[in-house]
């Protein structure tokens, strides 16, 4: 991305895989490239991590009713991210995912807290 100008890029980014925050997301933002995030649920692995765990208290502050919405709002609230591809064939999961389109998004401070809380799970 530093040598070539791209209209868009696609890569993995989620609460468990945040390596893109170091170089890819800043580079895309600096170059004005749209960012498509794949695997925002880590292939379902994020749900395994939170299975049986209640939503954190701050989830209500960003209008989340389920973990899928927490995970998606974390991804799409990054300033460099244009969209995410949650990839599901299950209509019930699609309805949960669509719920992340409504309400507030986390600010930078809450994004840091979300990552720290997830790391402690």
For residue 1, tell me if it sits in a domain. no
**CATH code (residue 95):** 3.20.20.100
Q: Helical H runs in 10-58?
A: 24-31, 45-50
For residue 113, tell me if it sits in a domain. yes
For residue 103, tell me if it sits in a domain. yes
Query: Rounded to an integer, what is the distance from CA 74 to the centroid of its chain?
Result: 4
Per-residue pLDDT of 34-43, as tens digits, reads: 999 999 999 9
- How many structural domains is the chain composed of? 1
CA 112 → CA 22, 46, 74, 106, distances in Å? 14, 17, 10, 9
Six-digit token string for 107: 């600010």
For residue 49, tell me if it sits in a domain. yes
pTM: 0.96
CA 51 → CA 31, 47, 69, 89, distances in Å? 38, 6, 15, 20
Enclosing domain of residue 16: 8-119
* pLDDT for res 3: 85
Local structure of residue 23 (DSSP, 8 states): T
For residue 115, tell me if it sits in a domain. yes
- Could you tell me which residues come within 8 angstroms of residue 116 by beta carbon, excluding any fewer than 6 positions away? none
Per-residue pLDDT of 39-80, as tens digits, reads: 999 999 999 999 999 999 999 999 999 999 999 999 999 999
């Amino acid at each position: 991305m530093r040598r070539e100008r791209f209209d868009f890029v696609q890569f993995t980014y989620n609460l468990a895989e945040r390596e893109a925050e170091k170089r890819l997301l800043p580079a895309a933002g600096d170059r004005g490239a749209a960012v498509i995030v794949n695997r925002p649920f880590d292939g379902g692995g994020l749900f395994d991590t939170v299975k049986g765990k209640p939503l954190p208290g701050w989830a209500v502050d960003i209008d989340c009713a389920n973990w899928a919405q927490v995970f998606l709002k974390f991804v799409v609230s990054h300033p460099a991210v244009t969209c995410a591809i949650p990839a599901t064939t299950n209509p019930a999961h699609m309805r949960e995912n669509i719920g992340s389109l409504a309400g507030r998004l986390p600010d930078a401070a809450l994004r840091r807290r979300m990552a720290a809380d997830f790391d402690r799970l």
